[in-house]
Amino acid sequence: MSPQSRRRGQAGGGGAPPNALFDELLQAARELLAVRSPLDAELLVSDLLGTWWPQRHRTLGGAGVEQIVGEGLIEYAAQRRSPAALALLSGIACLGTSRQAIAAEQAAIALIDDGVRAPRWAEYLGAVSPAECYVNPDEWGDQDEVICVFSYAGEEPHALVSVIDYNAAGMIRDGWVSSQVDKLLDHCRSASARSGTRPDEGFREIDAPQARKMLQAALAATDAAEDPPVSEAFAARHAFIRARIRALPPAAGRAGRPKRAWPPERRALLAAEFLASDEAEELSDRRAASRCADLIIDFGCDQDSGRPQRMSPAKVQNFMLGYLPRKVLLSVADQNAMPHAVGAWIRWSGRIRGLSDAAVGQTLDTLFDSMATFSRIYRDPAEFGLDEKLVARLLPDSDLEALPRRAFAFPILEGRHGGVDLSKLDPSDPSDRRLLLAADHDTRTGSPSAAGVGRHIDRHLALADRLWRGSPSALWDAAQRLLDTGEDRHMVLHALMDVLDAAGGDETALKTALRELATGLSDDDLNGLTNPDA
């Protein structure tokens, strides 16, 4: 792509991609003139819109890719009096984001008024209507296939199959479309019948609002992830999936504030029920077993869509080799007790859920296979060179994942400053934080204690509080990126504080600026949207 390509201004301070990028997309849209089916047309448009989906979090001058490329393409196509441009705009009006859909519809109407002929399939795009919806879970509950049937005013029925993976934060990882609806449903019914699954846990019909709720939450999880583990074809189907979710009816009535499904009291009752079971009777260290049960329940409630009793080989592996070593500070007693507590929980929950002996045995085999690896990869914080007492002060909530960012925020926890013994201060206490940060500042600058008061320390406090809480997660990600470039800690702190000040409390703007920090979208990135091998 020529660096001399003409660039046009973009609202919000961003810049538009070179016109060669839009020319390439518009040329690809010529295929829309050869199709007869509205379904084929929508899938082609979805494929085009998926071109830049993997780059959706990237920014240039504060503008996102959907604005720079998506809305820029609409503006570019609107200026072309061609059937291909009108076909593309018609598709984007149905499949684009809300902003893109409005702009594309207005541009398409203007082209039609100017005499450009619309493709015959365009009149059917707005007539898509939902029919039956189904859920097809696997034996373990690791995944749900949500099957939604649609048609164009009763014609050309087709099924969208979306795969929700509960071992991947409940996100949609794959999706495809089938026009063989009856054959697909018959296959799912037969497979469910052969498995002997209970009717309420196997393949079954669900109402459309429930399907919409499930898919909306799952797609939001996928879109929010920086690098979601989706299939290779997912980007091409993303816009189609999004549009079909919008076509499903929402739940009737006004949605109230969602209730917390697993409050502490309910979690405690579940732990007590487990500890009183025959399966837990063999656990010798009851106090450690209780703490382990709490962690198993928290993982199921917070990481597995509120399903603490669900256990599977994949979930056990994620818990033992992913969640615990990364997230949880375990005592030696808890480390020793954990595999035994998980094994008892697998047998107990398997009995409660009615799983087959083979399914329970396979899950236990995964646990046994992971035990040696767990013992090897679970690292005691002392191995990081931190004293046990320091770790305890930084991790009062046992959130092991928070250790590096909290140590970055509060590097000085011992010594004396202004007559105060720093080892007696609590970094989780807002009043103690000011003294700790003042000590850190004076140690670096050699300035008098007065330098540790006022607006400057207030800015440090605001940043330290966010780093302590990990809010947003992009803050620590940005800090690590800057540190990796060779910047020293003091410069990184001030760069982050400048971003916080500029955002002014706007969390969306803050996340955008943090993603842009040290990773701005370049012209080469834009070229790579349609030429990833360049």
User: Is the four-CA dihedral 60, 29, 172, 39 of positive or negative sign?
Assistant: positive
- For residue 531, the model assigns a pLDDT of 52
Pairing of strands 416-417, 204-206: unpaired
Q: In this predicted structure, which of 90-104, 424-438, 451-465 has the lowest mean pLDDT?
A: 451-465
- Given a cut of 90, whether residue 381 has pLDDT beyond it is no
If phi > 0 it is left, if psi is from -120 to 50 it is alpha, else beta; for residue 96 that is beta
d(CA 263, CA 270): 11
Distance in Å from the first CA to the final CA of the chain: 10
Q: Does position 256 have pLDDT exceeding 80, yes or no? A: no
Produce one character per residue of 236-262: b if its CB has 16 or more CB atoms within 10 Å, e if not. Answer: bbbbbbbbbbebbeeeeeeeeeeeeeb
b (16+ CB within 10 A) / e for 168-182: bbbbbbbbebeeebe
Mean pLDDT of 30-55: 95
Helix/strand/coil percent split, the chain, to 5: 60, 10, 30
**219: part of which helix (H) or strand (E)?**
helix 208-224
Q: What proportion of the chain, given as a percentage, has pLDDT over 70?
A: 87
Give the pLDDT of residue 377.
84
Give the model's pLDDT for residue 250: 92
Q: For all residues of the chain together, what is the average pLDDT?
A: 87
Amino acid at 96: G
Amino acid identity, position 264: P
Q: Which of 336-345, 369-378, 472-481, 505-514 has the lowest mean pLDDT?
A: 505-514
For range 4-17, the mean pLDDT: 38
* In the predicted structure, residue 222 carries a pLDDT above the cut 90: yes
Tell me the average pLDDT across 381-385.
60
Per-residue pLDDT at 246 exceeds 90: yes
Q: By the 8 A CB rule, do 161 and 147 touch?
A: yes
Is the distance from CB of 58 to CB of 515 less than 8 angstroms? yes
Q: Higher confidence at residue 442 or residue 134?
A: 134
pLDDT of residue 11: 35
Tell me, what's the pLDDT at 369? 96
* CA 19 to chain CA mean position, Å: 32
Is the model's pLDDT at 339 over the cut of 90? Answer: yes
Q: How far apart are CA 54 and CA 227, in angstroms?
A: 8
Say whether pLDDT at 385 is over 80. no
Q: For 449-467, write each residue's pLDDT tens digit.
A: 444 456 788 899 999 999 9
Report the percentage of the chain scoring pLDDT > 90. Answer: 61
Q: Output the pLDDT for position 409.
A: 92
Average pLDDT of span 502-522: 78
List, for residues 116-167, the tens digit of each pLDDT value: 999 999 988 878 999 999 999 998 899 999 999 999 988 999 999 999 999 9
Distance, CA of 486 to CA of 48 (rounded, Å): 39
Rounded to whole angstroms, the Cα distance separating 146 from 49 reads 23
Q: What is the arithmetic mean of pLDDT over 454-482?
A: 90
177 neighbors 237 (Cβ within 8 angstroms): yes
Q: With beta carbons less than 8 A apart as the criterion, state whether 416 and 423 touch.
A: no
How far is the CA of 334 from the CAs of 14, 178, 418, in angstroms?
A: 52, 49, 40
List pLDDT tens digits, range 158-217: 999 999 999 999 999 999 999 999 999 999 999 888 876 676 778 999 999 999 999 999
Q: What letter would DSSP give residue 203?
A: S
Q: Would the pLDDT of 488 be above 50? A: yes
- Phi-psi group of 291: left, alpha or beta (phi > 0 → left; psi -120 to 50 → alpha; rest → beta): alpha
